[in-house]
Structure 1
Amino acid sequence: MKSHRFAWASRNYRVQTAATVIAGLGNAGAPIATAFAVLDLGGGATAVGLVTGAHLASMVVFLLLGGALADRLPRHHVMVGANLFNAASQALLAVLVLTGTAQLWQLIALSAAGGAGQAFYAPASEGMIMESVAKEHAARAFALFRMALNGSQIAGAALGGVLVTAIGPGWVLAVDAAGFTLAAALRLFLDLEAPTTPAEETGMVQALREGWREFSSRRWLWAVVLQFSLVGACLGAVESVYGPVIAKERLGGADAWGLALAAFSAGLFLSGFLMVRWQPARILLAGNTGVLLFAAPAYALVLEAPLPLLCAAMFTSGLGVTVFGVNWMIALQQEIPAELFSRVSAYDYFGSIALAPVGTALAGPVASLLGMRNALWLCAVAMTVLALAVLAESQVRTLRRKALAPTPAEAEAEAEQPAVTSP
């Protein structure tokens, strides 16, 4: 019997993965370019935090609307529109930086525009991936999807740091705009005839209420999201503000921070091989072991580790992100009805990043008040404590992977095996 290794990968899965990789190449370098564009204007940690915080704050404001629309409209339409909007905002930002006319308020406004586009894209994207693969292949599909995305981020982060140093941040932002445009064009090839699960024709407020009931009724879900709202605030301060500032002051500049981000992406990528095969029974207990690794870069920065050790810490953190992310997606897919998934995903995103703008905006003032070293200690210890505290919720510790019936091909292969009799 001839087997097809990737027969489970539908057309929509392949198209969505390819488009995500293309956009990811530019997105990995864009945060470096934006941070150093702010620093080149004479801004410091506070200015970088305000620009990054504007992006996150805009996501928080529009996420719930984006999730509700993604369950009511064709998801590919929402994704293409969001991609084109992001392409336009990044192109305008690139022009301002390249012509030397950029001002801080413009960087803040365009960063917020980028966050708004992401708020509409993200829930639709997760919904599309969820309905493009069967549940029995979910672990493999999510792991391979993350490997593809993270592989593009390895190249994007490394090249982004080098290009910011070599030709300036404006050109890196222009590459990001081109990536969004190409990704939008590719998503036009998504299978429009594929089965979808649109929401019933209810009002927008009613749709949001239905999503909230689904979200709030599961203790494991809101407990982890609450954890991430606090972890995200600390992580945003470390990786979006303190990291670039320390890299410029002590490690050599944008190319050094780009190398550190590439190491983070390498951890994301290589851990995908583990998650293709590892299928822990207690999915959230296993996933939360990955959260314990998130604080590694903060500890490396506060201990003034040299660049190789910082890269090792970033690699470790990336490994933790994939371990958590794949198990989290499996939990969502097996527990959340498909017709409500984008709305629940929006509440997930909303809660997880709700405090991230606060973290990045306050990162500079906190560092000024406490000192950079003490601010880093605060973030590192807080992330570790939060990763342990969520385990107090019994549903997080005990939620188990559901046994799935074998596929027809698997059942046929099993039937063809010779019977084993006892002697």
Structure 2
Amino acid sequence: MASSWLWISIAIAALGNISIDAMDISLPKLVQDTYHAGVWLVGTAGTANALGAIVGSIIIGQRRQLRRRGILAYLSLLLTGGSTMAIGFPWPTVWFPWAACGCSVFIGLGLGTFGVIWVTVLQELVPEEKQGRVFSIDALGSSCLLPIGLSLAGLATDRFGPSWMFLVGGGVLFLLTASGLLVRGVRQLD
């Protein structure tokens, strides 16, 4: 199928967004209950995430010609998944603020890089008369499972703990992304 890269990416986004959005639910509990830090750390980690996304977007956006965009986009999601898992590791309390902010930078870097590549590829490869439908399906696919995922993330965080949510959520995104790299259409996306 010529557009296998498109459909597999939308499916991965539908499932993967659930796992990385667990960070929004679980981070305050991890910061407060596990590391006994204040809300300042949640804000600082969010700022670090945004800065990473800005840097990733600017770096990729400045490139005139990117080769192997499918592989590069998926590698950026692997970085996001791995960095999400790393926040869940049992850090020494004194190191956790640095780890949370450093990992958040890489999460943002991965998401920013992926976002620029994804939108550019859609605009270049989807025929203009179909772009409205494809962008709508992409938006729906990316967000359709979020209400269920956020509810489950809250329940699972209370039941199993926030560290577990980061480890599992990042691991799910990592495995989904790695499986996407097995698709020839993704690897051949240039």
TM-score (norm 1): 0.41
Amino acid corresponding to residue 43 of structure 2 in structure 1? G
* CA displacement, residues 341-377 of structure 1 (integer Å, 9 cap, x when unaligned): 2221110011122222211101122233334333332
Residue 360 of structure 1 is matched in structure 2 by: 150
Per the alignment, residue 301 of structure 1 pairs with 88
C-alpha distance in 2 between matches for 1:357 and 1:253: 27
Aligned to 1:242: 26
Cα contact 2:44–2:101 (8 A) shared by 1: yes
Q: Do structure 1's residue 374 and structure 2's residue 161 form an aligned pair?
A: no
Q: Is the 8 A contact 2:88 2:162 kept in 1?
A: no
Answering whether residue 70 of structure 2 is matched by residue 284 of structure 1, we say yes
Q: In the alignment, which residue of structure 1 is the partner of 2:124?
A: 334
1:244-272 residue CA offsets vs partner (Å, 9 max, x unmatched): 22223335332211111111111111223
Deviation per CA, 1:30-83: give whole Å up to 9, x if none: xxxxxxxxxxxxxxxxxxxxxxxxxxxxxxxxxxxxxxxxxxxxxxxxxxxxxx
RMSD: 2.0
Amino acid in the other structure paired with 1:297: T
Q: What's the offset of the Cα at 1:392? A: 1.4
Q: Is the 8 A contact 2:14 2:143 kept in 1?
A: yes
Alpha-carbon distance, 1:278 to partner? 6.2
Q: Quick check: 1:227 aligned with 2:15?
A: no
> Any conservation in 2 of the 1:243–1:301 contact (CA below 8 Å)?
no
SS in 2 for 1:388: helix
Where do 1:318-329 residues align within 5 Å? 318-329=108-119
**SS in structure 2 of the partner of residue 293 of structure 1:** helix
Max radius of gyration: which structure?
A: 1
The answer to whether the Cα contact below 8 Å between 1:284 and 1:331 also exists between their aligned partners in 2 is: no
**Paired residue secondary structure (2:181):** helix
Q: Which has the higher contact order (CA 8 A, sep 6+)?
A: 2
Return the alpha-carbon distance in structure 1 between the equivalents of residues 8 and 100 of structure 2. 30
1:256-267 alignment, distance < 5 Å: 256-267=41-52
- C-alpha change, 1:278 and 1:385, in structure 2 (3 Å) is farther
Relative to 1, partners in 2 of residues 1:251 and 1:279: Cα closer, same or farther, differing over 3 Å? farther
Q: Report how many aligned residue pairs link the two structures.
A: 184
Q: Which residue of structure 1 lines up, in the alignment, with residue 37 of structure 2?
A: 252
Query: Aligned ranges for residues 392-407 of structure 1 at < 5 Å?
Result: 392-400=182-190
Gaps of 5+ in 1: 1-215, 401-423
Q: In the alignment, residue 375 of structure 1 is paired with which amino acid?
A: M
Trace 1:149-298 onto structure 2 (pairs within 5 A): 218-238=3-23, 240-249=24-33, 250=35, 252-275=37-60, 276-277=62-63, 279-295=65-81, 296-298=83-85
Which amino acid is the alignment partner of residue 11 of structure 2?
Answer: L
TM-score, scaled to structure 2: 0.87
The Cα shift of 1:217 comes to 7.2
Structure 2: unaligned runs, 5 residues or longer? none
